C-alpha cells in the first residue's frame, strides 16, 4: 500500500479522520458543553515559515507552506519530519493541501500552478501543471479516496475548478461552459484552504473580491448553481474568506476586509437551507475580519470557532454572538475532535486545547 513519504520516514500509517461532524464516540453534556478558554501549545516555530494549509490525518497533522516546505507532525511522539519541494528552479508557495487514505496532495499558488501527490517512489510527484498569467489556486478537498476538487481564481470567464476521478493521479480543468460566469472582479482568497466545503455529494465554493458568492454542486462537481451572499464586497480585499458546513443544511461563511481587520459588519453569515440564502449575524459585534471558521465537532451545529491574525473567537449559539478566547493570531484551523484542534499562521503551528465550563 502506498504511504505518505513523511509517514514512511516516521514509520507510521494514519487513518484519515471521519469528516462527519455529527458522529461522536461520546456525547457532550449539553449543560456543561461550552468552551471557556483555550490553551495554545506551539509545536513548530520558524520565523521564515508561513502556513495557510493544514490537514488532520488521524491524530497527526500534515502541512505545506511557503519556501516549498511541507511536513508531518507525529502526535504520538511529538516529532516533525519536514522536506522541501522544488520544481526545476521554482520554489513553490503552497496554500492548499488535501489527503486520501493513501496519499497527500499539495497545490501551489501563482504561475505556474503545481499540484503534487505522494508517489510510489517515496518522493512527491507532479500530477498537474498549469501556466497562465492569472492562475492562482486557493483550496483543495476530496469527496472520497478517488474523487477530489481544487478551486482557484478565474483565468478566463469562470472560477477555475479542477476535478480528479482517479485518486488524484490526473486532474482536469472544467470548461467554463459547465460553470456559472464569474462576475467582474470575482475571485477567491488563498487565506486558509477553506474556500471549499463538502458534505456527502454536496459541494460549496466561496468566492470574494468585488463579488462574494457561493457556487454549489449537488453531484460532486458535475453540475453547478450560484447563490449570492450578503457579505461586504466591492473591493479586491473584501468578501468571504472561509466557509464550513455542519450538515447539508447548516453552514457559515466569514471574512470581511483584511486591510480593515476591526471591521465587524457584513463579515459573518449563516445558512439553514444549504447555502441558497444567507443571513448576516453578529452585526457590529466582534469578531472582525477572520480567515478561517470551523464548526466544533459533535456540537449540533451550534458551536463555532473562528481564527484570524488578531485572535481566536468562539460562538455557542450558531454564530449569533461571539466571545474572544485568545488574542493569539493564526491563519487557519482544523479540529481533531470536539476539544482539540491545530492552527497555523505566520512563523508557527500550534495545538489548541479547549476547556469547557464545569
Q: Kindly report, residue by residue over 227-246, the tens digit of the pLDDT.
A: 999 999 999 999 999 999 99
Q: Which of 290, 258, 254, 256 is nearest to 269 (CA)?
A: 254
In the chain, what are the domain boundaries?
5-18+37-356
Residue 127, CA distances (Å) to 115, 168, 246, 284 in order: 6, 8, 31, 45
Determine which of 9-23, 186-200, 279-293, 330-344 has the lowest per-residue pLDDT on average.
Answer: 9-23
Question: What cell does 343 get?
Answer: 492552527
At 111-169, the pLDDT tens digits run 999 999 998 777 899 999 999 999 999 999 999 999 999 999 999 999 999 999 999 99
At 303-317, the pLDDT tens digits run 999 999 999 999 999
Backbone dihedral region for residue 127 (phi beyond 0: left; psi -120 to 50: alpha; all else: beta): alpha
Provide the mean pLDDT of the chain: 92
Residue 99, CA distances (Å) to 36, 58, 91, 279 in order: 32, 11, 22, 32
Taking domain 5-18+37-356, whether its CATH number is 2.130.10.10 is answered by: yes
Question: What cell does 145 get?
Answer: 479516496
What confidence score (pLDDT) does residue 358 get? 64
Residue 331, CA distances (Å) to 46, 171, 189, 208, 245 in order: 15, 27, 12, 17, 19
Q: Name the burial class of residue 319, with classes exposed (0-12), middle (13-18) and buried (19+) by CB atoms within 10 angstroms of its CB.
A: buried
- 32 pLDDT band, cuts 50/70/90, is low
Q: Which of 180, 247, 187, 249 is nearest to 212 (CA)?
A: 187
What CA–CA distance (Å, rounded) separates 141 from 136? 16
Percent of the chain with pLDDT over 70: 91
Percent of the chain with pLDDT over 90: 88
Q: Does 84 sit behind a cis peptide bond, omega within 30 degrees of 0 on the bond before it?
A: no
- Average pLDDT (85-102) is 96
What CA–CA distance (Å, rounded) separates 152 from 109? 9
pLDDT at residue 22 above 80? no
Question: For the chain, percent helix, then strand, then coil, each to nearest 5?
Answer: 5, 45, 50
What confidence score (pLDDT) does residue 36 get? 94
Amino acid at each position: 500500500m502506498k504511504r505518505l513519504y513523511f509517514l514512511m520516514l516516521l514509520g507510521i500509517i494514519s487513518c484519515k479522520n471521519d469528516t462527519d461532524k455529527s458522529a461522536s464516540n461520546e456525547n457532550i453534556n449539553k449543560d456543561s458543553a461550552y468552551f471557556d478558554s483555550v490553551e495554545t501549545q506551539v509545536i513548530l516555530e520558524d520565523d521564515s515559515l508561513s502556513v495557510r494549509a493544514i490537514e488532520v490525518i488521524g491524530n497527526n497533522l500534515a502541512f505545506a507552506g511557503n519556501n516549498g516546505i511541507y511536513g508531518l507532525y507525529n502526535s504520538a511522539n511529538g516529532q516533525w519530519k519536514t522536506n522541501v519541494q522544488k520544481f526545476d528552479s521554482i520554489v513553490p508557495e503552497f496554500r492548499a493541501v488535501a489527503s486520501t487514505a493513501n496519499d497527500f496532495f499539495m497545490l501551489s499558488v501563482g504561475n505556474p500552478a503545481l499540484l503534487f501527490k505522494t508517489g510510489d517512489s517515496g518522493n512527491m510527484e507532479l500530477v498537474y501543471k498549469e501556466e497562465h498569467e492569472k492562475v492562482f489556486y486557493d483550496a483543495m478537498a476530496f469527496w472520497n479516496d478517488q474523487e477530489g476538487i481544487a478551486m482557484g481564481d478565474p483565468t478566463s470567464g469562470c472560477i477555475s475548478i479542477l476535478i480528479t476521478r482517479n485518486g488524484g493521479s490526473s486532474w482536469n480543468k472544467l470548461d467554463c461552459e459547465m460553470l456559472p460566469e464569474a462576475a467582474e472582479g470575482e475571485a477567491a482568497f488563498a487565506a486558509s484552504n477553506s474556500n471549499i466545503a463538502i458534505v456527502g455529494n454536496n459541494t460549496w465554493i466561496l468566492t470574494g473580491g468585488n463579488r462574494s458568492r457561493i457556487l454549489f454542486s449537488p453531484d460532486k462537481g458535475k453540475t453547478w448553481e450560484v447563490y449570492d451572499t450578503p457579505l461586504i464586497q466591492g473591493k479586491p480585499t473584501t468578501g468571504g474568506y472561509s466557509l464550513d458546513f455542519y450538515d447539508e443544511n447548516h453552514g457559515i461563511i466569514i471574512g470581511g476586509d483584511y486591510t480593515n481587520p476591526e471591521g465587524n459588519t457584513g463579515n459573518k453569515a449563516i445558512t439553514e437551507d444549504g447555502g441558497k440564502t444567507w443571513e448576516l449575524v453578529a452585526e457590529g459585534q466582534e469578531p472582525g475580519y477572520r480567515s478561517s471558521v470551523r464548526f466544533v465537532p459533535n456540537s449540533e451545529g451550534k458551536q463555532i470557532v473562528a481564527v484570524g491574525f488578531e485572535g481566536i473567537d468562539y460562538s455557542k449559539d450558531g454564530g449569533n454572538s461571539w466571545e474572544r478566547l485568545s488574542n493569539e493570531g493564526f491563519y487557519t484551523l482544523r479540529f481533531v475532535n470536539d476539544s482539540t484542534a491545530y492552527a497555523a499562521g505566520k512563523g508557527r503551528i500550534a495545538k489548541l486545547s479547549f476547556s469547557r465550563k464545569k
